[in-house]
Amino acid sequence: MKISLSKWVHEEGSAYAFLLPYALLFIVFIVIPVIAAAGLSFTFFDAVQSPRFVGLDNYIALLTQDDTFMRYVLPNTLQFAIIVGPGGYALAFLLAWMLAQLPKIPRTIFALILYSPSMTAGVAMTVVWRALFSGDQTGYLNSFLMGLGLMREPVQWLQSPQYLMSIMIIVTMWSSMGIGFLAMLAGILEISPELYEAAAIDGMSSRWQEIFLITIPSIKPQMLFGAVMAIVGTFQAGAIGVTLSGSNPTPQYAGQLIVNHIEDYGFLRYEMGYAAAISVVLLLMVLFFSRVANRLFASEA
Amino acid sequence: MATRWYQPYIGVKNRGINPEGFHVSQIKFYIVLIPLAGLMLLPIIYIFSSAFKPPEELFAYPPPLIVTNPTMKNFNDLFSILSTSGIPVSRYLFNSILITLVTVAASIIISSAAAYALSKKQFRLKQTLFVVNNVALMFVPIAVTIPRFLIVENLNLLDTFWVHVLPVLAMPVGLFLLKQFIDGIPDEVIEAAQIDGASDLHIYWRIILPMIQPALATIAILTFQAAWNNADTSTTYINNESLRTLAFYLTTLTSTTATGADAVAGQGVAAAAALIMFVPNLIIFIFLQSQVMSTMSRSGLK
């Protein structure tokens, strides 16, 4: 097939011109880092000498010798991800479903309130959590529980291995009504009322049937979008334990998630090759969970 | 037929999805939503309230949630103190504002141009690139902090203004949402313009951009949040204190290991800074929320 140059410039060339700035940034800040992480994961690299190829050593070490990873980081990450991911996601869907059944003005107000925690995710909110869970009696939770007579001594919430994970989960759930929540809400509002009427005439007999037979199938694409956002958000939120407790590693590794483990090896111990191997494992986990979501919500072609 | 629950959809108004007014059946939702919304709001009320608390209320025991004698003292303190390195807070604020403005403007242009090409132009890699971008929706930036650092270092971007802006601009969600929105514009609109002899640039600038304002508003919000709340860039890539942002400064306020009275006094200043961080997010979202919703309805991933 022969296409003249001027025609190519006109047709395809201009398309690539429009894409170019985004594509460049995409390649530099997303594609290359992922490839580089994969490449570095097969090396020993201390950021001083150039990387030395070590084959699968990093992965083998991660799976067989990294006691911290196996005993704390992996179980913590899975516990955190399984509660916050599907939990936050189900909550987002249920709230979107409820909001969709309210008139516009209250719906908008509630949506704003529920969405607001995810606007500032992280930084500004640390101020709040520090005050709320403060270890002395001026902390809100301590003063509340002591006021009720439930406790005599203030608890060092953020420094206590037994509480840190629960607090991390609550804090992350609190800010999980993000963009996926808005997508699901918008999706539910778009479902044609005739669908419900038709289903009712066909003999559907409960609200639950309605949710599973009409609502969810009708907004599968938004459900999938929301699921991907929930998965990414969950793993991206992994730094919360270090933010809350103020130390990496977290007290007795109680809140240590895979993201902190990467930072620990990469920026504190300068074992960049090993850290890169952990990054690859993290990316594979995200990919795996996204595949699962895809299975659940893929639209039939 | 004993259960006639479906009838509302046929007969009674205001039951079911997107009602126009109040109906008794909505009460159960309010019973769930009002307490939950209250709980969700507590931390935000705390920020608003603590930012205006005078010292005696910050030190009070038990700690009051709501301020009784509001004062601007915390804000005055915030802007009169220097950070440990001698940089006034106004400098961090200025950096944040400038970085955010530049990032939002650049993101709107770059993402919408790419989205226009992906949606309306015909070229060989079109489908492939869209799939690649969809896969990148799953990208977790925090996982590749180290290679990103090496790249930024090699591009000589460490300690520059642009390192705040450029990485944020590669936002797969933004491109995805814009592309979905542009898909909704009929091809005829563009064909008609082409017959009139309009150039690609003209079509993009004069026809597409005005028609996708809701999506642009959404991208603006997402980019705003990514840029304005970004403390990581300042921590990882910036050593020059005068190039760091307000979000970063806030993390230094909360991470100081001060205990007792210092920590409590710091809470007021930190809350004032947190309020300055939070309020712009809130205002922008309130203004643009209806546009966001109309964009999100096309957000489905197939």
Write down the pLDDT at residue B188.
Answer: 92
Q: Of the given ranges (A214-218, A256-260, B11-15), which has the lowest mean pLDDT?
A: B11-15
Instruction: Examine residue B200 and state whether it is found in any structural domain, yes or no.
Output: yes
Residue of B nearest to A297 (CA): B302
Whether residue B223 is found in the same domain as residue B292: yes
Question: How far is it, in rounded angstroms, from Cα A196 to Cα B188?
Answer: 34
User: Do B5 and A207 count as a contact with CB atoms less than 8 A apart?
Assistant: yes
Which tops the pLDDT comparison, A30 or B12?
A: A30
User: A52-53 and A43-44 as β-strands: parallel, antiparallel, unpaired?
Assistant: antiparallel
Long-range contacts of A243-251 (CB under 8 A, 24+ apart): A243/A122, A243/A126, A244/A126, A244/A129, A244/A130, A244/A133, A244/A158, A244/A164, A244/A167, A244/A168, A244/A171, A245/A158, A245/A159, A245/A164, A246/A158, A246/B255, A246/B257, A249/A68, A250/A164, A251/A159, A251/A160, A251/A161, A251/A164
Write down the pLDDT at residue B8.
Answer: 46
The CATH number of residue B273's host domain is 1.10.3720.10
Single out the residue of B234, B235, B41 nearest to residue A128, CA to CA. B41
Write down the pLDDT at residue A122.
Answer: 66
Tokens of A95: 């709230």
Instruction: Examine residue B59 and state whether it is found in any structural domain, yes or no.
Output: yes
Whether residue B105 is found in the same domain as residue B51: no
**Is the pLDDT score of A33 beyond 60?**
yes
Instruction: Examine residue B5 and state whether it is found in any structural domain, yes or no.
Output: no
Residue of B nearest to A230 (CA): B138
Whether residue B264 is found in the same domain as residue B206: yes
User: Do A200 and B22 count as a contact with CB atoms less than 8 A apart?
Assistant: no
Q: Are A230 and A88 in contact (CB under 8 A)?
A: yes
Whether residue B105 is found in the same domain as residue B245: yes
Whether residue B264 is found in the same domain as residue B171: yes
User: Do B300 and A183 count as a contact with CB atoms less than 8 A apart?
Assistant: yes
User: Do B274 and A14 count as a contact with CB atoms less than 8 A apart?
Assistant: no
Q: Which domain holds residue B234?
A: 86-296
Q: Give the residue-averaged pLDDT of B194-222.
A: 93
Three-state secondary structure of chain B: CCCCCCHHHHCCCCCCCCCCCCCHHHHHHHHHHHHHHHHHHHHHHHHHHHHCCCHHHHHCCCCCCCCCCCCCHHHHHHHHCECCCCCEHHHHHHHHHHHHHHHHHHHHHHHHHHHHHHHHCCCCCHHHHHHHHHHHCCCCHHHHHHHHHHHHHHCCCCCCCHHHHHHHHCCHHHHHHHHHHHHCCCHHHHHHHHHCCCCHHHHHHHHHHHHCHHHHHHHHHHHHHHHHCCCHHHHHHCCCHHHCCHHHHHHHHHHCCCCHHHHHHHHHHHHHHHHHHHHHHHHHHHHHHHHHHHHHCCCCCC
A217 vs chain B: nearest CA distance in angstroms? 12
User: Do B50 and A131 count as a contact with CB atoms less than 8 A apart?
Assistant: yes
Instruction: Examine residue B273 and state whether it is found in any structural domain, yes or no.
Output: yes
Q: Give the residue-averaged pLDDT of B174-198.
A: 93
Instruction: Examine residue B37 and state whether it is found in any structural domain, yes or no.
Output: yes
Question: How far is it, in rounded angstroms, from Cα A59 to Cα A215?
Answer: 43
Instruction: Examine residue B16 and state whether it is found in any structural domain, yes or no.
Output: no
Grade residue A123 by pLDDT with cuts at 50, 70 and 90: low
Q: What is the pLDDT of residues B30-87, one digit of tens each?
A: 999 999 999 888 888 888 898 999 988 887 777 788 888 899 998 988 888 766 667 8
Q: Give the residue-averaged pLDDT of B95-112.
A: 97
Return the amino acid letter for B295.
T
A187 vs chain B: nearest CA distance in angstroms? 5
Whether residue B222 is found in the same domain as residue B262: yes
Q: Give the residue-averaged pLDDT of A188-193.
A: 88
Whether residue B105 is found in the same domain as residue B190: yes
Residue of A nearest to B61 (CA): A138
Question: How far is it, in rounded angstroms, from Cα B136 to Cα B144?
Answer: 13
Instruction: Examine residue B155 and state whether it is found in any structural domain, yes or no.
Output: yes
- Which of B18, B48, B134, B163 to substitute to test the interface with A, most A CBs within 10 Å? B18
**Is the pLDDT score of A25 beyond 90?**
yes
Whether residue B123 is found in the same domain as residue B176: yes
Which tops the pLDDT comparison, A229 or B264?
A: A229
Grade residue B14 by pLDDT with cuts at 50, 70 and 90: low
Grade residue A153 by pLDDT with cuts at 50, 70 and 90: confident
Please report the domains of chain A, with CATH numbers, ordered by start residue: 66-121+173-297 (1.10.3720.10)
- Which of A8, A10, A19 to substitute to test the interface with B, most B CBs within 10 Å? A19
Q: Give the residue-averaged pLDDT of A86-96.
A: 94
Q: What is the pLDDT of residues B77-101, one digit of tens each?
A: 888 876 666 788 899 999 999 999 9
Write down the pLDDT at residue B265.
Answer: 60
Within its chain, how far is the Cα of B144 from the centroid? 22
Write down the pLDDT at residue B2.
Answer: 43
Instruction: Examine residue B81 and state whether it is found in any structural domain, yes or no.
Output: no
Whether residue B41 is found in the same domain as residue B159: no
User: Do A183 and B296 count as a contact with CB atoms less than 8 A apart?
Assistant: yes
- Which of B133, B254, B259, B278 to substitute to test the interface with A, most A CBs within 10 Å? B254
> What residues of B are in contact with residue A154 (Cβ under 8 Å)?
none
> What residues of B are in contact with residue A101 (Cβ under 8 Å)?
15-19, 25-26, 29
Whether residue B198 is found in the same domain as residue B153: yes
Write down the pLDDT at residue B141.
Answer: 87
- Of the residues B71, B96, B127, the one at which a domain ends: B71
Total domains in the fold of chain B: 2
Average per-residue pLDDT for chain B: 87
Share of chain A above pLDDT 70, in %: 97
Whether residue B96 is found in the same domain as residue B52: no
Question: How far is it, in rounded angstroms, from Cα A107 to Cα A213?
Answer: 24
Which tops the pLDDT comparison, B271 or A28?
A: A28
pTM for the predicted model, two decimal places = 0.89
- Which of B107, B138, B180 to substitute to test the interface with A, most A CBs within 10 Å? B138
Q: Give the residue-averaged pLDDT of A20-27.
A: 96
In this complex, the residue of B33, B141, B146 whose CB is nearest that of residue A272 is B146
**Is the pLDDT score of A60 beyond 70?**
yes
Write down the pLDDT at residue A72.
Answer: 92
- Compute the radius of gyration of chain B from its Cα atoms: 24
Q: What is the pLDDT of residues B124-139, one digit of tens each?
A: 899 999 999 999 999 8
Whether residue B209 is found in the same domain as residue B132: yes
User: Do B166 and A186 count as a contact with CB atoms less than 8 A apart?
Assistant: no
Write down the pLDDT at residue B13.
Answer: 56
Q: Provide the residue count of chain A.
A: 301
In this complex, the residue of B36, B111, B140 whose CB is nearest that of residue A22 is B111
- Of the residues B43, B71, B99, the one at which a domain ends: B71
